[in-house]
């Protein structure tokens, strides 16, 4: 399951960090700390999200 989680993390983290950056830019916050902060928050939130996704995929395919 760890290999699946690592593969998924590359996709999920880039999607969530990108979404955070787009959100910040859409709100008009064009400063570097706001952009980097939102990308970091998206990256950190991707860790539990990836674990849940990988767990669901793994149990669905192994059962």
pLDDT tens for the 63 residues of the chain, in order: 899 999 999 999 999 999 999 999 999 999 999 999 999 999 999 999 999 999 999 999 886
Per-residue confidence (pLDDT) for residue 56, from 0 to 100: 95
Distance from chain centroid for Cα 61? 23
Distance from chain centroid for Cα 2? 16
Given a contact cutoff of 8 angstroms between Cβ atoms, the answer to whether 12 and 49 are in contact is yes
Per-residue confidence (pLDDT) for residue 28, from 0 to 100: 96
Read off the pTM.
Answer: 0.84
Domain boundaries of the chain, sorted by first residue:
2-62
Per-residue confidence (pLDDT) for residue 62, from 0 to 100: 81
Per-residue confidence (pLDDT) for residue 9, from 0 to 100: 96
């Amino acid at each position: 399951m760890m290999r699946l989680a690592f593969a998924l993390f590359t996709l999920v983290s880039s999607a969530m960090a990108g979404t955070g950056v787009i959100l910040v830019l859409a709100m008009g916050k064009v400063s570097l700390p706001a952009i980097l902060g939102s990308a970091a928050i998206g990256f950190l939130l991707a860790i539990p999200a990836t674990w849940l996704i990988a767990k669901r995929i793994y149990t669905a395919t192994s059962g």
